[in-house]
């Protein structure tokens, strides 16, 4: 079953004016514009009609009564105007309740303006980590000071316990049925993919995750934790550091790549990333025109 895109048009409509507009450097940050309750409720109605008519797994892990309650809860959230970020989180939490691993507000299918507003901040943690027995354990340090040895436990980010971060983010994690182990793994940062769910949702749930982060950490074998202040990273910057040869700053790594391997085009390599169907892919270089890309690659060979 294909992944489901965030359907509402209202989410894109709010991005005019103050979200993307410029303002004097000395001005106070403007409050984010709100999506109207009426538009959001209309979006819920569209979502419900489509899902009840076409989603094959809507009642696989939920009864009809469960689904009715989830839709009612979503409508209650949208009883008042919401920001784009609030709406994205609310839809994501609703979709997680379907408990289908392919059903989520797909990061890569969002309109480019939505992606810029929600996904482009300098708010990535400067390390890769795994969740081990509920603990956030560093597997790779990606900031200049190299103060986080592999095995270091991150106890808190900006005063929020790592366990509390995990609990909040589990409300948007996707997996089939009761597979919470996969949900936890989904919320790790490995530095091997494009957008990673932890990166997307940490600043949406915890807006204090901004350009400077205060980490409370405990190194392997240490008796006491220490507090570090580190610079957060942008998406492309962290991808480049994690890969060791990533794209230039400000660029995104191509989803699809075709290149010669032997200097004479006798042996070629082809790397094919996820196929997306929307015109905007969350800042990725692909626009979904895979037929054009594949034809061009064939002609080169």
Domains of the chain: 10-119 (3.30.750), 127-243 (2.30.42.10), 256-300 (no CATH)
Q: How far is residue 177's CA from residue 234's CA, in Å, rounded to a whole number?
A: 33
Nearest in space to 297 (alpha carbons), one of 246, 260, 253, 252 = 260
The pLDDT-based confidence of 25 (bands split at 50, 70, 90) is very low
Q: What is the mean pLDDT of the chain?
A: 80
State residue 246's pLDDT score.
Answer: 44
For residue range 218-273, what is the model confidence (pLDDT) as tens digits? 999 999 999 999 999 988 888 887 776 544 343 444 556 666 655 555 556 666 65
* H-only helix segments in the chain: 10-13, 37-54, 64-77, 84-97, 112-119, 162-169, 180-186, 197-205, 235-243, 290-300
Assigned token pair, 209: 């995750």
Q: Are 105 and 91 in contact (CB under 8 A)?
A: yes
The pLDDT-based confidence of 194 (bands split at 50, 70, 90) is confident
The pLDDT-based confidence of 282 (bands split at 50, 70, 90) is very low
Overall average pLDDT of the 162-176 stretch: 98
CA 52 remoteness from chain centre: 26
Q: Which of 20-34, 58-72, 252-266 has the highest mean pLDDT?
A: 58-72
């Amino acid at each position: 079953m294909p992944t489901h895109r965030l359907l509402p048009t209202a989410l894109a409509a709010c991005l005019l004016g103050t979200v993307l507009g410029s303002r004097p450097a000395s001005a106070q940050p403007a409050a984010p514009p709100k999506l109207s309750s009426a538009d959001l409720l209309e979006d819920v109605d569209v979502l419900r009609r489509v899902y009840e008519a076409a989603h094959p797994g809507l009642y696989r892990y939920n009864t009809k009564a469960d689904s009715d309650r989830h839709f009612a809860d979503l409508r209650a959230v949208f009883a008042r105007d919401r920001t784009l970020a609030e709406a994205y989180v609310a839809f994501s939490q609703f979709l997680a309740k379907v408990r289908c691993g392919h059903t989520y507000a797909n990061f890569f299918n969002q309109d480019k303006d939505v992606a810029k507003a929600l996904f482009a901040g300098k708010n990535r943690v400067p390390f890769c980590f795994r969740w081990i027995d509920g603990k956030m354990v560093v597997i790779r340090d990606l900031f200049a000071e190299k103060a986080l040895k592999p095995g270091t436990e991150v106890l808190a980010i900006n005063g929020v316990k790592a366990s509390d971060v995990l609990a909040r983010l589990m409300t948007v994690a996707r997996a089939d049925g009761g597979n919470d182990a996969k949900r936890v793994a989904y919320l790790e940062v490995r530095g091997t993919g494009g957008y990673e769910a932890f990166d997307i949702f940490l600043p949406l749930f915890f807006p204090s995750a901004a350009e400077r982060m205060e980490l409370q950490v405990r190194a392997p074998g240490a008796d006491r934790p220490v507090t570090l202040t580190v610079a957060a990273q942008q998406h492309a910057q962290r991808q480049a550091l994690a890969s060791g040869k990533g794209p230039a700053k400000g660029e995104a790594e191509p989803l699809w790549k075709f290149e010669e391997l032997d200097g004479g085009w006798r042996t070629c390599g082809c790397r094919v990333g996820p196929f997306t169907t929307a015109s905007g892919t969350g800042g990725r270089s692909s626009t979904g025109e895979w037929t054009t890309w594949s034809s061009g690659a064939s002609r080169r060979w």
